[in-house]
């Protein structure tokens, strides 16, 4: 029932109540009028008795008593007449209210009838589906009645190392906005195999003299039995090793300029990670070292207001750091060997276990308005794809998307792309004040 129907019901009930009150009042008035007539007859009889007694010279006391009876009867008759007048006025008021209630009821019924008979408004136009890259399947929300979109997740994977199909995270660090996502590839979904990638966001506030943020991405060997847990262990171990060497790392990163010392520190960090992975392989009775083989890329970023931020980046294997500036993507760092054709687009045999030969490091600069992404090999291929790079550059140039939107963008279907994708992206604003001044843009509409 709508509002008009409720108004009609209320008006009808009010009319019924007023009619009942009016009927009761009329009945009472009639009863009072009957009593008034009886009292009139009694008063007339008492007057007649008074005249007869006065003519026959009765006892004065009897005559006085008769006078009192006559006065009481007259007073009672007058009171009932006044009550009847009041009831008559009440009835008039009730009739007026009943008339108003009936008019309101009729008006409500007419309005309800008009609303029931009015044509239905046109349904709002369906929102345009998110853009779909050429040769891709549309997302579920954009699928038509035929349901042509593929389901996102496949069969629940079996094994001793359960991890979610998808992971997302986000953060707000000073003038940086961070988004991170790891998505299981179609090949692993079809095979009911766990995702083999991992990422980590870690804020160092207290160990260093100034806050730093670590963004790490690790990609395990797709065929490795313990690759996923090795990727997670790699990210956690890197974070712990950097934290234990915080002051020395900070001194070198912020301007000591001693390349040999920096290289030695990074080798120490990665050697500790290799030792952790070796312990993992032994604890899982891994017969083949490649079962826990992992490649990674890590980005250590100072937090604070600045016009130009200098990030330390290091890693092993074909992961990549890719920067978006003025609408153009550029690979600014990859640990892959120079002889690996295609750079980040090709998979190298180098893993974290090949520390002495494969570890590389460098520095990357970001300016306000830049986007810097540290990516697994498959995520790097997505950002460098001819069609996807234009689509993502347009989407990300206006600011950091909401977390769910970022997840969808990282999982967009591209023909032939079936591997796991993992990336951590940093939107550079330069200062906290600039983030707040961005107002209603997507970059400021809540980190999560």
How confident is the model over 178-222, as pLDDT tens digits? 999 999 988 888 888 888 999 999 988 766 677 889 999 999 888
Q: Which of 86, 117, 148 is a domain's end point?
A: 117
**Minimum mean pLDDT among 65-74, 163-172, 336-345: which range?**
336-345
**Minimum mean pLDDT among 71-80, 235-244, 258-267, 388-397: which range?**
71-80
Domain match, 112 and 160 both: no
430, two tokens: 């330069």
Give the pLDDT confidence of 250-261 residue by residue, as tens digits: 887 776 667 888
For the chain, give the longest Cα–Cα distance. Answer: 152
Per-residue model confidence (pLDDT) at position 139? 43
Q: At residue 349, does pLDDT exceed 60?
A: no
In this prediction, residues 308-322 reach a mean pLDDT of 93
Q: Let me know if 21 is exposed, middle or buried by CB neighbors in 10 A (0-12, 13-18, 19+).
A: middle
CB under 8 Å to 97, separation ≥6 — which residues? 18
pLDDT band at 129 (very low <50, low <70, confident <90, very high): low
Per-residue model confidence (pLDDT) at position 424? 97
CA pair distance 404, 353, nearest whole angstrom: 35
Per-residue model confidence (pLDDT) at position 148? 35
Domain match, 222 and 89 both: no
Q: What percent of the chain has pLDDT over 90?
A: 27
CA pair distance 215, 359, nearest whole angstrom: 17
pLDDT band at 94 (very low <50, low <70, confident <90, very high): confident
Q: Which residue has the higher pLDDT, 284 or 366?
A: 366
Q: Which residue has the higher pLDDT, 275 or 414?
A: 275
Q: Please report, for the domain that includes residue 402, its CATH number.
A: 3.60.40.10
List, edge to edge, every strand of the sheet that includes 166-173.
166-173, 176-183, 421-428, 371-375, 320-325, 328-333
Per-residue model confidence (pLDDT) at position 442? 46
Domain match, 421 and 366 both: yes
Please check whether residue 128 lies inside any domain of the structure. Answer: no
In this prediction, residues 154-163 reach a mean pLDDT of 67
Q: Which of 86, 102, 117 is a domain's end point?
A: 117
Parallel, antiparallel, or unpaired for β 421-428 and 371-375?
A: antiparallel
Could you give the number of structural domains in the chain? 2
- The helix or strand, by DSSP H or E, that contains position 279, with its residue range, turns out to be helix 259-283
- The helix or strand, by DSSP H or E, that contains position 331, with its residue range, turns out to be strand 328-333
Domain match, 246 and 311 both: yes
Domain match, 307 and 213 both: yes
Please check whether residue 135 lies inside any domain of the structure. Answer: no
CA pair distance 258, 103, nearest whole angstrom: 93
Per-residue model confidence (pLDDT) at position 65? 75
Domain match, 111 and 204 both: no
pLDDT band at 159 (very low <50, low <70, confident <90, very high): low
Average pLDDT value for the chain:
78
Domain match, 157 and 66 both: no
Domain match, 89 and 191 both: no
Domain match, 249 and 291 both: yes
Q: What percent of the chain has pLDDT over 70?
A: 73
**What dihedral angle (degrees, nearest 10) is formed by the CA atoms of 388, 389, 395, 400?**
120
Per-residue model confidence (pLDDT) at position 374? 97
pLDDT band at 240 (very low <50, low <70, confident <90, very high): very high
Write the secondary structure of 11-45 as one string of H (helix), E (strand) and C (coil).
HHHHHHHHHHHHHHHHHHHHHHHHHHHHHHHHHHH
Domain match, 186 and 333 both: yes
Q: Which residue has the higher pLDDT, 331 or 117?
A: 331
Per-residue model confidence (pLDDT) at position 346? 42
Domain match, 146 and 48 both: no
Q: Are 172 and 240 in contact (CB under 8 A)?
A: no
Query: Best-predicted range by mean pLDDT among 68-72, 105-109, 165-169, 248-252?
Result: 165-169
Q: Is 275 helix (H, G, I), strand (E, B) or coil?
A: helix
pLDDT band at 53 (very low <50, low <70, confident <90, very high): low
Q: Which of 50, 84, 117 is a domain's end point?
A: 117
In this prediction, residues 129-133 reach a mean pLDDT of 50
Return the closest-CA partner of residue 423 out of 385, 387, 395, 381. 381
Domain match, 161 and 103 both: no
Per-residue model confidence (pLDDT) at position 440? 41
In this prediction, residues 260-284 reach a mean pLDDT of 87
- The answer to whether the predicted template modeling score (pTM) of the entire model surpasses 0.85 is no
Structural domain that includes position 308: 140-444
């Amino acid at each position: 029932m709508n509002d008009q129907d409720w108004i009609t019901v209320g008006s009808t009930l009010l009319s019924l109540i007023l009619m009942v009150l009016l009927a009761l009042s009329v009945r009472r008035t009639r009863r009072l009028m009957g009593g008034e007539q009886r009292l009139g007859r009694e008063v007339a009889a008492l007057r007649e008795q008074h005249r007869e007694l006065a003519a026959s010279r009765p006892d004065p006391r009897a005559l006085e008593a008769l006078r009192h009876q006559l006065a009481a009867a007259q007073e009672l008759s007058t009171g009932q007449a006044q009550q009847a007048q009041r009831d008559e006025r009440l009835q008039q008021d009730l009739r007026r209210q009943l008339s108003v209630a009936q008019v309101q009821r009729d008006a409500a019924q007419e309005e309800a009838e008009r609303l029931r008979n009015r044509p239905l408004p046109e349904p709002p136009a369906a929102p345009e589906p998110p853009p779909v890259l050429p040769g891709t399947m549309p997302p579920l929300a954009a699928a038509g009645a035929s349901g042509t979109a593929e389901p996102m997740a496949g069969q629940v994977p079996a094994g001793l190392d359960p991890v979610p199909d998808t992971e997302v995270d986000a953060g707000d660090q000073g003038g940086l906005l961070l988004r991170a996502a790891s998505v299981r590839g179609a090949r692993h979904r079809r095979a009911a195999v766990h995702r083999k990638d991992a990422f980590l966001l870690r804020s160092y506030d207290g160990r260093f003299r100034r806050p730093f943020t670590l963004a790490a991405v690790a990609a395990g060997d797709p065929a490795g039995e313990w690759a996923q847990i090795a990727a997670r262990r790699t990210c956690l171990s890197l974070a712990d090793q950097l934290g234990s060497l915080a002051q020395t790392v900070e001194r070198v990163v912020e301007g000591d300029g001693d390349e040999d010392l920096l290289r030695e520190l990074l080798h120490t960090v990665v050697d500790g990670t290799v030792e952790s992975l070796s312990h993992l392989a032994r604890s899982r009775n891994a017969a083949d070292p490649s079962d826990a083989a992992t490649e990674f890329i890590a980005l250590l970023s100072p937090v604070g207001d600045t016009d130009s931020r200098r990030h330390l980046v290091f890693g092993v294997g074909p992961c990549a750091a890719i920067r978006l500036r003025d609408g153009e993507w550029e690979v600014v760092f990859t640990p892959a060997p120079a002889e690996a054709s295609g750079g980040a687009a090709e998979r190298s045999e180098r893993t974290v276990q090949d520390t002495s030969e494969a570890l590389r490091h460098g520095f990357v600069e970001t300016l306000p308005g830049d986007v810097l992404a540290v990516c697994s090999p498959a995520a790097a291929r997505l950002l460098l794809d001819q069609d996807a790079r234009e689509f993502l550059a347009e989407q990300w140039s206006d600011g950091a998307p909401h977390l769910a939107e970022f997840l969808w963008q990282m999982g967009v279907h591209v023909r032939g792309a079936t591997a796991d994708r993992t990336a951590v992206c940093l939107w550079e604003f330069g200062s906290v004040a600039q983030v707040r001044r961005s107002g209603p843009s997507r970059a400021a509409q809540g980190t999560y």
